[in-house]
Structure formats: C-alpha cells, structure tokens
Amino acid sequence: MNWDDYPNFTEEEFMCKHCGECHMDEDFMDMVQMLRTEYAKPMQITSGYRCPKHPIEINKDSGVPGAHTTGNACDIACRGTAAYEILNLALALGFTGIGVSQKGDVRFIHIDNLTGEKRLRPTVWSY
C-alpha cells in the first residue's frame, strides 16, 4: 500500500494499538480518502486496523472478529454537526456498516465496507 495515495492520513493513525501492525484494505482506504475529500475538514481516526488479538476483538460478544481485523473499518472522532455531516457523507459514498457512539466523552462514527461477508449489510447500530 502506498500511503502517499492518502494525503490526509498517515499509516501511524491506522496502526493497531495492540501490536502496531497495519493491514488496511486499499479499496476501503480509497473510500475513506473520498470521504475526507468531500468532508473537506480534518478527521481524527481513533481506531483503524486491529489485529485478531486486540483486546476489543477478543472480547466481542459474538466471538467473531470485526471489520477492523480485515482492514475494512475505522472509527472517526466526531460529535454534533460533524457527526451528522460525516454520517451523511458515509452513506452517500456507499459505506455499508455504520456504528454511532454519541454518548459520554468518547464519541465517534464507525464506518466499514464489508462486501461478501456473512454479516447483515447494509446496517446501522449504536454503541
């Protein structure tokens, strides 16, 4: 993957916080860059790739690793109007999984684009 193709992001912000690896899917990253270009404001990525041994993945109720483990997901810190704008753009650009966390101090929008998966898509959920 050539990170120069994503001028608004760095590999470091998408690295697994557990192991430091980064295996983001290029098609997904192309969509994230389109989202950032359309949004035209900085976006803080709070979670990108997660290895299967990442504590959040290990502790999932379903026991099935999530989209982060395939490099097809990220979480974007946002609240209020920014969350609304990012949500609308993500839907318009074709992201198929949207998670919304807008309570408490840690607020974000999760976006993913799982295709060919056995999970229900498109779908929206809350944390």
pTM, two decimal places: 0.93
Nearest to 23 by CA among 32, 31, 11: 11
SS (H, E, C) 41-60: CCCEEEECCCCCCCHHHHCC
Summarised one tens digit per residue, pLDDT across range 24-60 is: 999 999 999 999 999 999 999 999 999 999 998 988 8
Distance from C-alpha of 73 to C-alpha of 22, rounded to nearest angstrom: 12
Q: Which domains does the chain have, with CATH numbers?
A: 12-126 (3.30.1380.10)
Q: Could you report the per-residue pLDDT of 66-113, keeping only the tens digit for each?
A: 899 999 999 999 999 999 999 999 999 999 999 999 999 999 999 998
For residues 37 and 6, the answer to whether their CB atoms sit within 8 Å is no
